[in-house]
Structure 1
Amino acid sequence: MARSRARGSVPDARMPLSAHIREFRNRLILALAGIAVGAVVGWFFYELVFDALQQPVLDAAEQSDGLVSINFAGLVTALDMQIKVSLFIGVVLAAPWWLYQLWAFVAPGLHRREKGYTVGFLGTAVVLFAGGIALAWWVYPRAVDILTGFTPEGGSNFLDAQMFMTFTLRLFLAFGIAFVFPVVMVFLSWAGVVKARTWLRGWRWAVIIIFTASAVLTPTPDVFTMLMLAVPMSALYFGAIGIASLKGRLGGRRRASREDAGAQQGGVGA
C-alpha cells in the first residue's frame, strides 16, 4: 500500500500512513455495517439454518439410540446461539459487500487499468467463497458422523451448544476464506507485489502448507475428507499461478508489438 494515492490528488502523490489508517477504519466500519444488516436478516432465518446444522446430530442420535444431543447448559445459551448463527448468516449474505470493501481499500494503489478488474476480481472472490461454504456443507455432516462414532459403547455424547456451534461456524468460514486466497494471489501478482514465477518456485512448500492446513481444518481423521479440501485448494493454487502469469505474457506481447511497430516506422523514415 506504499504506492497508494490519495483521492483527488496529483497522480504521483502518496497517501500518508494516517490516511491509510483512516481509510482502513472507514472500510472496516462499512464492512461491519453490511454484516450487521445481514445478521438482522439472518435473525429471521435462524431456525431454518439451525435445524439444518443440527440435522447431522439428530441423524447420529438415531443411530446411537438417542445418546447424542446438543446440550444448552445455561439460561442465555439459546440466545447466544441465535446471535452467533445470525452473525454467521450475515457474514455469508454480506460476502459481496465486505469483499468489495477489501478491494476498495487496496484499489487506490492500483493503476487505472488494474482498477478496471474490480468486477472480475469481486465476482470470482464471491463465487469461490460460496464454493468453499458449499464444500464445507458437504463435509460437515460426514465430520459429525465420524466424530460422534468414536463415542464408546454404552456412553453418551452430550455436545455443549456453545462449543459445538463455534466449531461448526469456524469450519464453514475457514473453508470459505481459504477458497478466496487464490484471488489474493492473482491480485498480488497483477499489482506487481509478487511475481507469478515466485509463486511457482514455492509450489512444493505451498502444497505442504495446503495439505497441513486441510488436515487441521477438516475435523475428521479420515484421509478422504482432508483430500476433499486439499485437492481443490492445490488446483486453485496452480490455476491462480496460470492466471497471474497471463498478464505478464500479454504485456510482453504488447511491448514486442510496440517495438516492432517502432522499428518499422523507423525503417520507413530512414
Structure 2
Amino acid sequence: MKAVGALLLVTVVAAFFYKDLIGFLIDPLPGCAPGGLVGENDAERCGVISLNGLLSPFSLALKVAITAGVVAASPVWLYQLWAFVAPALHRSEKKYTLVFLGAGIPLFLLGAAVAYRVLPTTARVLIAFTPDGATNLLPVDDFLNLATRMVVVFGLSFELPVFLVLLNFAGAISARRMIGWWRGMFLSITAFAALATPSTDPLSMVLLAAPICVLYLSACAVAWCNDRRRRRTGDGEPGAGLRDTEASPLDLTPVPVAAPDRIAE
C-alpha cells in the first residue's frame, strides 16, 4: 500500500507538468515546420511531429505521467521490495545486496543517459531513409515507445558488470573464466552497439560500446580481487586447493559412541 500510494502521489504531481515532460522526451526528435519537410541531403531531413486521434493527447499525457510516477517513486517501492526480502537474508547477504543495489541504480541511470544522448542520431538516420518528395509523419506515441525501449535496453546493458560480479561472489564463475571470455564479449558488445545505434557514423557505435567494454573489464578486476581474497582466507580450510571436479577428503576414523543417558521415569 505504501508503494502504490507513493506511485499514485507522484503520478498526480507529474500530471500537472506533463507538457514539460513530453517536451523533454521529444526534444531529440528532429521535427520541422511544414515548409521544410525535406532537406537538400539526408542529414537535413526531418519529419512532422503528430498525434493521431482525438483521445491521443489525453492518453499520451496519462502514459507520460504514469511513467514519471514509476521512475520518480522508484526509491519508495524498491525499498518496500527490499524490506520484504530482507528478513530472509543473512547479514553478509544484506551487505552485498545493498552494495549491488548501490552500484546497479547509478549504472542503469548512466545507460539511460547514454540512450537519450544517442536518440537524436538514431532518429536522424532512420528519417534519412524517407524517399524524396515524401512527408514523414512522426507520431509521438511511436517515438516514446522507441525511446522507452532504448532506455531500458541501454540501462540493462550497463548492468552487465553487476550481474557478472554477482555470479562471481556466488561462486558460479571465476575471474579467470571471465577474463578468458574477453574476445567473445568484445565482439558481442560491438555487435549490440551496432544494432542498438542504427547510424552510419561509427563514432556513435564506439561511444556506446566503449563504456560497456570498460565496465566489463572493471567487473573482471573486481572478480579477480574477490578470488584472491577467497583463496587467501580459504587456504587453511580442508580441501581448499581442490579443483571443482575433485572430491573433497573425508575423515573416516571411527569414533566411539558414548552411552546414552538414562531417561527419567
Question: Same fold per TM (> 0.5)?
Answer: yes
Change (3 A) 1:170 1:91: farther
Aligned residue-pair number: 230
Q: Name the residue aligned to 2:223.
A: 244
CA contact (8 A) 1:179 1:233 kept: yes
Matched AA of 2:20: L
Change (3 A) 1:186 1:39: farther
Q: Name the residue aligned to 1:44.
A: 16
The alignment partner of 1:55 has SS state of: coil
CA contact (8 A) 2:33 2:48 kept: no
CA contact (8 A) 1:35 1:94 kept: yes
Which structure 2 residue ranges, 5 or more long, are not aligned?
39-46, 239-265
The alignment partner of 1:159 has SS state of: strand
Q: Name the residue aligned to 2:118.
A: 139
CA offsets per residue over residues 129-166 of structure 1, 9 Å max, x none?
A: 11111111211122223332333343211113332221
Give the Cα–Cα distance (whole angstroms) in 2 for the partners of residues 232 and 73 of structure 1: 38
Q: Name the residue aligned to 1:5.
A: none
**1:61 matches 2:32:** yes
Give the Cα–Cα distance (whole angstroms) in 1 for the partners of residues 211 and 86 of structure 2: 28
Change (3 A) 1:104 1:209: farther
The alignment partner of 1:70 has SS state of: strand
Matched AA of 1:179: F
Change (3 A) 1:218 1:234: same
**1:161 matches 2:133:** no
Deviates more, 1:72-81 or 1:165-174: 72-81
Displacement of 1:114 after TM fit? 3.3
**1:199 matches 2:170:** no
Across the aligned residues of Structure 1 and Structure 2, the Cα RMSD in angstroms comes to 3.3
**1:254 matches 2:236:** no
**1:92 matches 2:101:** no
Q: Name the residue aligned to 2:259.
A: none
CA contact (8 A) 1:99 1:122 kept: no
Q: Name the residue aligned to 1:121.
A: 100
CA contact (8 A) 1:103 1:118 kept: no
Change (3 A) 1:239 1:51: same
Give the Cα–Cα distance (whole angstroms) in 2 for the partners of residues 88 and 172 of structure 1: 12
Matched AA of 1:118: T
Q: TM-score, normalised by structure 2?
A: 0.72
Give the Cα–Cα distance (whole angstroms) in 1 for the partners of residues 184 and 81 of structure 2: 27
Q: Percent identity?
A: 36
Change (3 A) 1:231 1:34: farther
Equivalent in 50, 67, 70 of residue 71 of structure 1: 50
Compare the two structures and name the one with the higher helix fraction. Answer: 1
Change (3 A) 1:42 1:228: farther
Displacement of 1:190 after TM fit? 0.7
Change (3 A) 1:154 1:229: same
CA contact (8 A) 1:56 1:145 kept: no
Change (3 A) 1:123 1:205: same
Which structure 1 residue ranges, 5 or more long, are not aligned?
1-28, 260-270
Change (3 A) 1:105 1:250: farther
Larger Rg computed on CA atoms: 2
Change (3 A) 1:235 1:150: same
Change (3 A) 1:129 1:101: farther
The alignment partner of 1:61 has SS state of: coil
Change (3 A) 1:183 1:33: farther
The alignment partner of 2:158 has SS state of: helix
